[in-house]
Chains A and B, each alone.
Chain A
Amino acid sequence: MIKSLGSFIGELRAVGLPVSTAEALDAAEALRVIDIADREGVREALAATLIKLPRHRAPFDVAFDVFFGNAAPAEERAEHDDTPPQGAESGVDDLIAQLAGALRSGDTAGLEAAVRRAVSRLSGFQKGRPVGGRYYLYRVMQRLEGIEEALAAGEELSGLDALLDRDDVAALLERLQAEIRREIIERLVADRGPEPVARTLREPLVEDLDLMHATRLELERVEAAVVPLARKLATRLAQRRRRGRHGRLDLRRTIRRSLAHGGALIEPQFRRPRLSKPDLVLLCDVSGSMATFARFTMQLTYAISHQFSQVRAFAFVDAVDEVTGLFGTGTDFAESMARLSSETRVVAGDGHSDYGAVFRDFAEQHGDVVTPQTTVLVTGDARTNYREDGAEVFADIAAQARSVFWLNPEARRFWDTGDSVMRKYACWCDSVDEVRTLRQLERFVEQIALPQHRPSRKLASGVLN
């Protein structure tokens, strides 16, 4: 068991789950005190010690099924398979009836046996064949098409009962699919060993999805993960600001002071004064190439806005417009995104990015929002379409701000190629980071929280001509 634990943890790390040495030791310790004959108990114990984010549970479960599943060789399973050999469609109907019966009555052992039979009969599983688990799962589910009907309650239901029954069926189908997947994984593992099977089942974690190219569905998962992360960023920014904000009474100072004034205890001394919140100005490229990413940065800002005394958000393509009101508290995020494209003027010309025009417009129309209390956060790919870059105007904006951070969602190796002029803006920023994934965003968050790691901005307004 300890030996599989080592390879199991290796697999978790390969998937990208952050398992520390301390946590690995905790897991080993856990296995010593629990009942290891209880597989689901082992699963929970390992999850509790190794996994610290709910969204990491699904990839954990896949790896667990691979490394701790019932890996008896397929021949042994076949012995328990008491149905007649491959053949007539009536066999499929029988299987469906057995599966539906076991699912409906909650008969776990019966379900496992029926699933074993179904996989033997319907998957076309062949030893040594280099196909992945998804292929077999798909084949089995396709042959079991009739199961949904078999699961639905026999009688005609109406109203609430019909609705509840529909959701019952959906839940049971999900259960069935999970059981079949588990069975297939176990057969693949018996055939090839756990490591290669685990490798074929790896999927990118939410935090490793490329935000520029994420699908709508992936983006939804990203959005769910952004909110808590954004709040962490916010508390970190707040921490820098509030360091020792607490106005606690300092008794020693009070007394010493009063002794110096002849002993009258009149003037309580408090520790450290209160500082004011900074302002945040967001400048967000929402042009075609950036649209997906923009959704995400907007959501980020939306989530942290309450941590700042003032947040002003601006979106741009070839013109710039304020979008602050769209993302205030009490607004629905998806709705705001829709209004962003319909109600604001971020496109004046042909709809291709024009950084030069945008920075000029911004400086002219909104320049006064940037003050020495302002943190400016720019998100964009710095691709000018070979138009004017406006770097000198950007430099002036940066010179007025407290700090400037730029997040670029493009891979660093593409910066300054083609029409990208990242370098021209970079010298006016505290930092420029590649942020293509949530993981990179998290790293940015960590770094922004450590002031001593902040490179000082090369302040030289007007050096560029």
Chain B
Amino acid sequence: MSNATSHAAEGPGCAPIAFLPPRPDVLARRDEIMAALTELVSAGGVVRAPLALKPFETDAFVAYRQPPLAVVLPQTTAEVSAVLAYCHSARVPVVARGAGTSLSGGAIPQADAVVLGLSRMNRILEIDLENRTARVEAGVTNLSISEKVAAQGFFYAPDPSSQLACTIGGNIAMNSGGAHCLKYGVTTNNLLGVTLVLIDGTVVTLGGKHLDAGGYDLLGLVCGAEGQLGVVTEAVVRLIARPEGARPVLFGFDSSEEAGACVADIIAAGIIPVAIEFMDRPAIAICEAFAKAGYPLDVAALLIVEVEGAEAEMAAMLAEIVTIARRHGVRTVRESQSATEAALIWKGRKSAFGATGRIADYICMDGTVPLSQLPYVLKRTGEICAGFGLEVANVFHAGDGNMHPLILFNANDPAEAAKAEAAGNEILKLCVEAGGCLTGEHGVGLEKRDLMRFQYSEAELAQQMAVRAAFDPLWLLNPSKVFPLEGRPA
């Protein structure tokens, strides 16, 4: 283990993000803890080989990494319960982990923590089409649920771009969204129940196949809690009938402002497409170079608007949308003519982060703003980045105001990295001032933990922490995340 006593994760060129100081007594008991864990899980459940441990040091917030104390991969809810009960009594921090695709460092461990990976709990337990539900283990990937029911004409609606890899447990922890949540909502709107293991090993069931669970909406609280309240081992999710057809259409504009205003007008007209995605010129160029999706390169902003339904339904909606776009001076309108073309259009969008990563290092912001503020915030974002001498590419879910400015920089240049971080912080402040929030779907994690005071008062943070403590009084679950380290309850 490198540098086990450091309190900060390593990051090339980035200001270190502090972790809670590791508990020396826990570090000293590592062998004893490993031995105890081995007894609690089935064969192969404790990862030992140094190479096999590597991937657990970080997630998709790759600028930071930190080797954990140990990694355990339980196979059942009972094993998860046993591991948590043990860690609770031994006062060892625990970080749950799905696929490690978190963009905010949510799954990055700390030196004295046991990583509890759900990857071996990846079974689809029950598909109940009449009640339109799927019961799955937490380590099941998002896409595999939709794949499982595709032949019967159903799907699971929230579709993060990472859906091939990310797990439903991670989706619940981050309340993940996707391109299509304008119509179908995010994870919390499609989640009916969970099996939750509390830090002392207690197993509780929240919700189920029925629509409204009794009592407090603890399910709503657990969703988006970033693994701070308990470990989810099973979930019941809503399945939805797949529409007959879906058609994305490309709209090119001469300015981001026009595109932004067009989005607001589409929504105001009472039309709710399934998706409205936005890209500015740099993003268009990057995605087109990677995916060859046929995006027009001579426009300043691109909207991908997707409508769905029967043929005549789509045609009627599109006609209205085109009329609105023309009022905003749309330059190019291109309907996809085939399923292949539609898939290509989405491939370009969904590979935006990966494609950007091939040409530069970037940090991805995730603030959400009210729709009416979009044009203003886009303009200011450009100005802020220019002020730091940095380039920015914007690609995001416009229909719900969830922005993703990608600030490009060179990670080998510490000065530039510091500028990128400073620009990012200013953009997030801007989002909050515009009536929005720090993060729409990627979560607070490590990344935005120290910015929480932009959005919340001390009393508000204290209240959230008090609720957190109702679940985990000793602060053992993913304790370095979400809440600023200073000002925590003793």
Decide if A and B are genuine partners.
Answer: no
